[in-house]
Structure formats: structure tokens, C-alpha cells
Amino acid sequence: MSLASKLPEHAPDFARRYVNLADARLGAAAVTCSDDFFAPMQRMLQTPPAEFIPGRYDDHGKWMDGWESRRRRGTGHDWCVVRLARPGIIHGVDLDTSHFTGNYPPAASIEACMLESCEPDGNTPWKPLLATVPLNGNQHHYHATASAKVVSHIRLHIYPDGGLARLRIYGSPRYDPGDRRPDGLQNVASVLLGARVLACNNQHFGMASQLLLPDQGKDMGDGWETRRRREPGHDWCIIALARPATLREIEVDTAYFKGNYPDSCGLHGAHVSTGSDEAIISQAMFWPSLLPPQALSANACHRFEKAISIHDPVTHVRFDIHPDGGVSRLRLWAAPSP
């Protein structure tokens, strides 16, 4: 599931299913580029959709929300190297030229490499990830990728020059057993370890995928928030954990949600070995309780340990909020797998 704002209706399944590993908010960074005279390369990795501000100029010309090189007058083309937030398997990309109309590149391609603890240099062996594809102005360009190899960096080529508003690299992060807090517990609901939201019944004001982000939310828009419920029932979302786990501590953070936090929350779960996302969603209504309904309060971090039911390892959970409202983060702490 994307961690950005709501996706375009035509966005493919990989953009909804997987995390954008080129998101600066998660730790991705543009390492180097051939040229970023008009707009800095880091701007291409920002989370919010690109914006256009009429009449805004800086010392180099028209301010653009993305990466933009100067007009090339010789041979060759421009490129940019990006270190992904985490090494992972790439399932698809989005080359977004929003608001770039007379200054977008006519074509682009992407290469990838895997480096454990250094940045690429002149001797780095790059492998093709996306063959050269045509681009148009002011639109998303979604392309699935077929490689099953884990990569840490990508190199974007644009031909011959121009601007790209956003680069999104959708993938499955490599699981890291060493990513844990001092007491040895690991947040198996972390998007950086590979957890993802399969589905939710409503996310009118804030995407459910934001529940899985690292660090604390920055404001009320940085969390999952549903519309006001006017009928019986409650809201829910289903999460695939980073790995099978027996939960030791459940953390529900309502930071910034003051007049709109849920009255209570609960958690159900199961160990699911096979089945499509659609089948899992159907099964979720019958999963046993891991955490019976617990009262919540405004703008606070709630930790539950003793209330957790004894359970075998689970791979998926259903997080319920009663009856509606907003939660900033959900953290599910468990001991790392042997």
C-alpha cells in the first residue's frame, strides 16, 4: 500500500500492495546526479503529490516540485542515483511527470544494484530494471518490473534531459532480524520490515498504510482516519505482518487525534499460510481475538501487555476501532524469529 496520499484511480495493484522504497520519509536519498540545476534531485523523493505554484521563481528560474536538469546542448543524457530506504525486491515503478509539460524527458530507463554498506562508484555493476520507456507530460507512468533480486540502489536515466516530479519504486523490503529495540523486541507491523495493509473498510481522511510508518506522526494528517460513522458497526483494517509472530506488546498511538480518536480498539489475528488477499479479507471476520476491546484516549500512546490473549504465532491481524476515528501509529512488538 502506498504511503503517499490517495493514489490515482488507475494506479495498478503493485502501487497499492507494496511500499514506495524511494520515499524520503522512510530514509531514501538521492546520492548523486549528472545535473540538477533547476530543481534539486532530493525533491523527486518527497512523499506528498507534486504541486505547482504559479508565479513562483527562484535564482535558477521557475520553481518546480521535482528534479529538473538544465537544457542539454551536447551529447549524452542525465541520470540520478537513489539509495532506497531499505534493500528490497522491486515490483513496479511510477515515473511521475506531474506539472512538467514543456520540460519533461521524452524517455527514461532504470538500472539497479545491490550494495550492503557503501554507495555506488565507477566500478559498480548495474543491472537493468526497466528498459527504456516513453514519457508524456503531466502524468503518471506505471511500469511493472520482473526482477526477483534484492537491490539497494537504483540509477534513473532520463533522455536527454528535463524534469521528473516524483520517482516511486514499489517493492517488498528485505526482512532484517537485527532491527529491534534495546529489549530485543521487534515491531512486526513496521513497513520497513515488510508489513503491509491488505485492506480497510474506510480511509476517508487518512490512509491506513500510515499506521505502519516509523517514528511518531507529525500531525493529524499523518495517520489513519475514517469518516464519521452514521450507521451501526465499527471500522477496521487488515495487516500482513513482516513475519509470523507471537505478540508481546501492542502499542496504539493516537498522537494529534483529540476530538476524533476512537472510543476503543481491539485486535484479532490468525496464521494464514495460503490464499489471495480477497480470501484473507473474507476469513478475517472469523479470526480469534488477540486483544479484547480496550479504551483509548486523546493524543496518547497506549501500551497493552497483560490484556493480550495467549496465542500461537500469527501472520495477519485485523485492527478494529470502535466506532470510528483516527489512530496515528500501530506497533506490534514480538521477539525476533530464531
pLDDT confidence tier of residue 1, bands split at 50, 70 and 90: very low
Tell me the per-residue pLDDT of 32-82, one tens digit each, with 9 for 90 and over. 999 999 999 999 999 999 999 998 999 888 999 999 999 999 999 999 999
Domains 13-173 and 186-334 equal at CATH topology level: yes
pLDDT confidence tier of residue 4, bands split at 50, 70 and 90: very low
Q: What angle do CA 250, 254, 259 make, to 5 degrees?
A: 145
Q: 110 near 164, Cβ under 8 Å? A: no
- The ranges assigned to domains in the chain are 13-173, 186-334
Tell me the CATH architecture of domain 186-334.
Sandwich (2.60)
pLDDT for residue 337: 63
pLDDT of 2 over the 70 cut: no
Q: 302 near 252, Cβ under 8 Å? A: yes
Task: Round to whole Å and give the CA distance between 282 and 291.
Answer: 20
Burial class (CB in 10 A: 0-12, 13-18, 19+), 219: exposed
* Beta strands 107-113 and 127-134, pairing class: antiparallel
pLDDT for residue 175: 87
pLDDT of 295 over the 60 cut: yes
Tell me the per-residue pLDDT of 197-255, one tens digit each, with 9 for 90 and over. 999 999 999 999 999 999 899 999 999 999 999 999 999 999 999 999 999 999 999 99
By C-alpha distance, which of 10, 336, 5 is closest to 177?
336
CATH number at 13-173: 2.60.120.260
C-alpha separations of 213 from 38, 99, 122, 192, 295 in Å: 31, 28, 34, 8, 23
The model's pTM is: 0.88
- What average pLDDT does range 192-201 have in this prediction? 93
Residue count of the chain? 338
Instruction: Estimate to the nearest angstrom the gap between the alpha carbon of 40 and the chain centroid.
Output: 22
Q: Which three cell numbers stand for residue 4?
A: 503517499
* Beta strands 186-187 and 107-113, pairing class: unpaired
